[in-house]
Amino acid sequence: MHRLTFDGLQARPGQVWGGVRLVPLVRDEPILSLRLHPSGFPDDDPLGGYEPRCCYAPHGLTAEWTDDGTAVPALGTALRMPATTVHKSRRPKTRLERRTRVRFVPHQTALEAFLPLTFQGPTIAWREWSTRVYRRGLPRSEDPRHIGYDVEGLADALRVFEIHPGQCGVLVYIADALASAVVTPHPDDYRALHPTLVEDGFGELIWRYAHLYGEVPDFRPHFDESAIDTIADLRTAIDAAQGEWADFHENAMASGLLDAEYVFTGDYQMNQYTLRRFRPHFVPGREAHVGEAITDDDGRLAYLRTFRLSETQSRRGRLLRTLSDCDWNVEASAESMGIAAPVLVARIDAAGYGSLFRQDVLDHFRAMNARFAG
């Protein structure tokens, strides 16, 4: 699996409010054996979840599932099982035999946490890297983060959005740039999640677009009236317009998300469902989406949540990927990128990872750069 597909999901006409376009995705038949509920973290468990800092994040999402494929009760009345499991959690193992529940990285922390999490720190103790890296891992970069309320027009657009019958997902476009995608297994899940979308985090790029671009155009259907003689013809034309939009959306508007190849990591399997995290290949000039997806054995998408990285973030991702590909060897990494080592160090420094180097090494490279520039 290298790509995302929207098999079983159909795009319906988008609803525009100012610069925001929300494109609903409708599922042919809802998935009943996997349901979501936004229970957050249990009160008696302040350090649960992925990391302690996730506790205050409002988006702790939990997935539950059943063995026999019967429906889990709808949100709010969901069974609350005591078993909790997180990949590589430091908590003691649960005593229940079957683990039927998993937590997700909350949206708030995702943008900054995703990159360092997927790239582990150096595995070979090269002399350039400071000892702190080996002890603590990669530092979190403190990007300015924008929640949905800050993105101009998004709160209103979500408020006036009319949910389709059977809708299981939405794609959020700001100024016709894909900002995020959400897919849920069941329409009721989506209905429950819809109001929380405004609390999602968005990158600086999306925030800026929302300010810069006021209006996006509607896609209005146009019929060729000379070809229509009966009511049946008119109905056919309506259906054709529907199909035309769905094709256009998949091939043009969502292509940045669907056409790109991804690296899937962190498989976490339970029953027929697999949770994966994915990151892009960081091709310069292309949209970069990271996120999480749950698919079933047939590869059908049950759950999806993506975040669009801004240019700065994808540059940083590119650096980390190159470093990890070359086992954190600075010389080899610089060579694979076709640049000199001091330039690479300067880039790493500019990306906010300067503290990874030993101070004297960093100073040395800085001096070299200054001399070269001078």
Residues contributing to the site for another protein (CB under 8 A): 12-16, 160, 162-165, 218-223, 225, 228-231, 234-235, 237-238, 241-242, 245
Yes or no: say if 26 and 164 are a contact pair by the CB < 8 Å rule. yes
Q: Residue 237 or residue 263: which is nearer to another protein going by CB?
A: 237
Which residues lie closer than 8 Å to 368 by C-beta, 6 or more apart?
Answer: 342
Q: Strand pairing partners for 264?
A: 278
Nearest to 8 by CA among 304, 301, 303: 301
- Tell the smallest beta-carbon distance from residue 214 to another protein (Å): 13
Minimum CB distance to another protein, residue 250 (Å):
16
Query: Which residue, chain included where needed, has tokens 């657009």?
Result: 157
- CA–CA separation, 357 vs 174, rounded Å? 38
Nearer to another protein, 246 or 323 (CB): 246
CB of 234 to another protein, least distance (A): 6
Query: Which residue number, 123 or 236, has a Cβ lying nearer to another protein?
Result: 236
Which residues are bridge partners to 35 per DSSP?
Answer: 64
Q: Which is nearer to another protein, 64 or 189 (CB)?
A: 189
For another protein, the closer of residues 124 and 231 by Cβ is: 231
**Torsion over CA of 170, 41, 262 and 7, rounded to 10 degrees?**
-40
By beta-carbon proximity to another protein, the closer residue of 244 and 331 is 244
Encode 262-276: b = buried (16+ Cβ within 10 Å), e = exposed: bebeeeeebeebbbb
Q: Specify which residues 295 forms β-bridges with.
A: 274, 301
Could you tell me if 325 and 331 are in contact, meaning their C-beta atoms sit under 8 angstroms apart?
no
- Residue 108: burial class (beta carbons within 10 Å; 0-12, 13-18, 19+): buried
Smallest gap from residue 251 Cβ to another protein (A)? 17
Q: How far is the CB of 238 from another protein (least distance, A)?
A: 6
Shortest reach from residue 160's CB to another protein, in Å? 6
Q: What is the nearest approach in angstroms of another protein to the Cβ of residue 26? A: 10
Distance CA 90, CA 46 (A): 13
Q: Residue 162 or residue 298: which is nearer to another protein going by CB?
A: 162
Query: What residues pair up with 239 in beta bridges, in sequence order?
Result: none
Nearest CA to 310 among 112, 58, 139? 112
